[in-house]
Amino acid sequence: MKWPWSKKDEPAPPPVRKDASPAAHGRGGERETSTILTGDATQDSRSLQILLDTIAAVTANIDLDTVLRDIVDRSLQVTSAERAILLLGEQPDDLSVRMAMDREGRSLTGELQWSRSLVRRCLEDGVAVRSVVQSDQEALELGQSVYDLKLRAVMCAPMRARNRTVGVIYVDSRAVRREFSSRDLALFGAISAQLAISVENARLHADSLEKVRLQKDVEIARRIQQHLLPPVPNHLTGLQLGLRYVAAEQASGDTYDLVPLSDGRLAVMIGDVTGHGVGAALLTHAVQAALRSYLELIDDAATVVTRINQRLVAGVETGNFMSLLLAIIDPKARTLEYVNAGHPGLVLSRASGVTVLEKTGMVLGVVGEQVYRASPKVELQPGDLLFFHTDGVDEAMSPRREMFGNERLQAVLARAQNLAAEEVVGAVEEGLWQHVANGAVEDDFTMIAVKLS
């Protein structure tokens, strides 16, 4: 068994506050030297046994609730106090009651009072403190709660682990003859150091279990998302398609859809929800499902986007929004009509050069009454390439923290103008990986290339 005050790799017990005030140290205000060992063999043996038993008990458990209850229970046993309260937090104003019990082992509920001034002093000075109250005036000096509760003995010790405060263990008593001695204070301080380590270990264990559970949830979400992502349609007359989809995490905030319409036109949607992860992935698929439903009934891109926005505003928490680009491509008439709701611009690459088509509205999920307008029809020519992408492409960072940017993207597209659609997205992807020097991408990115035959 390691002694917590004798090994360099173990925390020392918190020092005892030496304060000349009578309220802090009993009659006369004399200074005291607090120590666990008093010279009385029987008493010292009992103190050491209590300390050893406490260390053994709290280190045997890693369940946080079990550890916390044991801490409170043993604090009552050690001090013979009437109440013990475990307060978790790092600052006096941030403390919250995590567990409280009376001497009979009953849980205390409701709004509890304690000496906030003594607890504040304990945390600010980082030492165990005690108070013996001999008059109403002294009680008021320690705080209204001490006076109201008619407390006669109060003691608390900070709980510190890994150089940070995790809380305070506090005990008090109304018994007139019960006074916490210097030995009580030293023993209480020594125990609190070990209790803090146990709280931190239990918390870390609980965090690790939660992390494993979340990782499983994310993996399930990733599989569902991969299953729901639409395939690239085959045999579209007059069109070639290329696609790349890369998630920065296992579940992505990017979404896309490729919906062949009954008259031979193709609806292309690409969007990006704020953030990434499971929540963003769920929202992207809600939008994808709504889009398909609307396209079956509505033949107007602007109306579809307006309705999707209304649904997002009504059903999504404030502060979450989505950029979206919906384009309707007619390969027979060789025309394009689109609605760009705050999304990176649709790039048109043709023999005469590369241009970025303007946005037509703000992001979705902000203003419920927003009415979206479609662009004027854009005339297309054989060989024209339409390039859709999310901001993960533009904002991909090099090791020197330089963004890939629009200029690099347009330069790659200009060089790839004569390539097939799938080869175009391959060329852009290769340029991205060269730019990030094969490092990890920080955001999801999606690319769709549509080329007219």
CATH 2.102.10.10 fits 225-452, yes or no: no
DSSP for residue 26: S
Bigger pLDDT: 387 or 225?
387
Is there a contact between 170 and 153 (Cβ–Cβ < 8 Å)? no
C-alpha gyration radius of the chain: 34
Residue 283 burial (C-beta neighbours within 10 Å; 0-12, 13-18, 19+)? buried
Distance CA(362)–CA(386), nearest Å, equals 21
pLDDT confidence tier of residue 6, bands split at 50, 70 and 90: very low
pLDDT of residue 178: 55
pLDDT of residue 345: 96
Distance CA(406)–CA(387), nearest Å, equals 12
Is there a contact between 255 and 312 (Cβ–Cβ < 8 Å)? no
Distance CA(291)–CA(312), nearest Å, equals 12
pLDDT of residue 11: 40
Domain ranges of the chain: 22-205, 225-452
Among 137, 130, 144, 203, residue whose Cα is nearest residue 173: 130
The pLDDT > 90 percentage for the chain reads 32
pLDDT of residue 15: 42
List 355's β-bridge partners, or say none: 348
pLDDT confidence tier of residue 31, bands split at 50, 70 and 90: very low
426: Cα separation from own chain's centroid: 35
Q: What's the average model confidence in pLDDT over 249-275?
A: 85
Across 114-142, b (16+ Cβ under 10 Å) vs e yields bbbbbbbbbbeeebbbbbbbeeeebbebb
pLDDT of residue 252: 65
The phi, psi pair for 150, rounded to 5°, reads 55, 40
- In this chain, the answer to whether the domains covering 22-205 and 225-452 adopt an identical fold is no
Distance CA(156)–CA(72), nearest Å, equals 12
For residue 205, which amino acid is it?
H
| Helix segments in 229-356, DSSP class H | 278-297, 301-315
pLDDT confidence tier of residue 21, bands split at 50, 70 and 90: very low
Report the mean per-residue pLDDT for the chain: 78
Q: What's the average model confidence in pLDDT over 128-137?
A: 68
Who contacts 210 (Cβ-Cβ below 8 Å, separation ≥6)? none
DSSP for 40-98, please give it.
Answer: -HHHHHHHHHHHHHHHHHHHT---HHHHHHHHHHHHHHHH--SEEEEEE-SSGGG-EEE
CATH number, domain 22-205: 3.30.450.40
pLDDT (tens digit per residue) in 291-338: 988 998 888 999 999 999 998 888 776 667 899 999 999 999 999 999
pLDDT of 368 above 60: yes
Write down the pTM of the prediction.
Answer: 0.55
pLDDT (tens digit per residue) in 59-96: 555 566 777 777 788 778 777 788 888 888 888 888 88
Who contacts 94 (Cβ-Cβ below 8 Å, separation ≥6)? none
Is there a contact between 151 and 133 (Cβ–Cβ < 8 Å)? yes
Taking residue 84's Cβ as centre, other Cβ atoms within 10 Å add up to: 25
pLDDT of residue 350: 95
pLDDT of residue 25: 40
Query: Tokens representing 117?
Result: 């001034």
pLDDT of residue 70: 77
Distance CA(16)–CA(38), nearest Å, equals 15
Helix axes 278-297, 301-315, angle to 10 degrees: 140
Who contacts 36 (Cβ-Cβ below 8 Å, separation ≥6)? 44, 47, 48, 51, 183, 186, 187, 190
Which helix H or strand E contains 200, and what residues bound it?
helix 182-228
Categorise residue 447: left if φ over 0, alpha if ψ from -120 to 50, beta otherwise: beta
pLDDT (tens digit per residue) in 370-393: 999 999 999 999 999 999 999 989
